[in-house]
Homo-oligomer: A and B are copies of this chain.
Amino acid sequence: MRHAATTLCLLGLSIPAFCQRGPAPYYEDTKNVPASPEIHPDHSVTFRLFAPKASEVVLMGSPGILEFLKEPKPLHKDDKGVWSLTVGPLPAGSYTYGYAIDGGLRMPDPSNPNLELRRWGPTSMFIVPAAQKAVFEERQVPHGTLHIGTYDSKNLGMSRMFYVYTPPGYEASQQKYPVLYLLHGNGQIEASWTWTGRANVILDNLLADGKIKPMVVVMPYGHIPREIKPDPTAPADPMAIEKELLGGVRPEVERKYRVLTDREHRAIGGLSMGAAQSLSIGLHNLDQFAYIAAFSGGGNRTEWEKADPAVLNKKLKVLWIGCGTEDPGYKGVKGMADLLAEKKIRHTYNESGGGHSWPNWQVYLSKYAPLLFRD
């Protein structure tokens, strides 16, 4: 029985910052730290938690997101106080989870150093490999660099963060690169596409295989805090990000990085909330973006109904929509694709199995990126 991180290493995977970790945990009483999650050769997964006095431990997926759990599932305790549960086999991809102990809040797995970084509380994650190496599994190819940028937003009156991926060779080159703005979902943060989604690994691999043009990828923070609105009890407006992305993040990126600044070398795409943001920001700013993608999220139907197909078909080089048939939002996304078809707006509609989940978003990115900046 091995520590999960070790298992992943042996499988050839690498989680940022964690994959070199050995089998013994740093807790004072190491004998009580069970291996969790353990990913078996058939890709079923066993979760374990040491909680000798607990009366109930429940495994939970992400709230409202169909991943590997359709509903919370109880673990069962052995005579040593270790609770466990095996699920799956699961398809390849990244998954998030936590435990609710004794009716309390969802907490991450103390055995597992791998985390999804989110807007609210910490969440554990793990990666299921593929039979053949999946596109998100690290290989010995040239690696790009991730950058964490901080800037002071004049618009919002606060400091904000964004992640940037630069491709291998960026540092030594004088070249200017095309740029993809890649947006996260609700509750996620600027770190989520890389820490959980492994977007940097996906791009390294696609580039090594000659499937994409070298590009810079910008991953901004997609939430605008309620506190700074006139009415702090007003619901969050996911579109408030448009002004910040175009007026705050974009100038900062174009000041610091060697990126091309014409519309034909600028793309946008996102998952879930980020899909809706991408569809609207792209549509409102056709002078700035020639490529739009929406992963598992529909757009503002009204504004797309009003859009002129002739203009869109002339301006947009790629309009890419992807959704899983088990996604709770499937009907809305499918409806959006139907609208585009009806209006004869040129687009790609990629329907897959699975739900509102990283395994889908990782595949969608690997399908969208090769279509970008082809000339």
Contact = CB atoms under 8 A, between A and B. Distances in A.
Interface of A: 6, 9, 14, 16-28, 32-33, 49-56, 63-64, 81, 98, 101-113, 115, 117-122, 124, 138, 140, 143, 145-152, 156, 158-161, 171-172, 186-187, 189-191, 200, 221, 223-227, 236, 255-257
Given A16-B148, A33-B105, A147-B148, 12 more contacts: A17-B161, A20-B221, A24-B226, A26-B187, A49-B105, A53-B56, A106-B110, A110-B121, A122-B124, A140-B152, A145-B147, A145-B150
Given A52-B104, A102-B102, A108-B108, A189 B121 contact: no
B6 A227 contact: yes
Contacts of A55: 53
A104 B53 contact: yes
A110 to B, nearest CB: 4
A198 B112 CA distance: 24
A17 B102 contact: no
A185 to B, nearest CB: 11
**Main SS class of interface, A:** loop
B122 A110 contact: yes
B106 A27 contact: yes
A106 B50 CA distance: 10
24 contacts: A6-B227, A9-B158, A9-B227, A16-B150, A17-B117, A17-B148, A17-B189, A19-B159, A22-B223, A23-B226, A27-B121, A28-B63, A32-B105, A53-B104, A54-B101, A106-B110, A112-B121, A113-B121, A113-B122, A122-B124, A145-B149, A148-B148, A171-B257, A172-B255
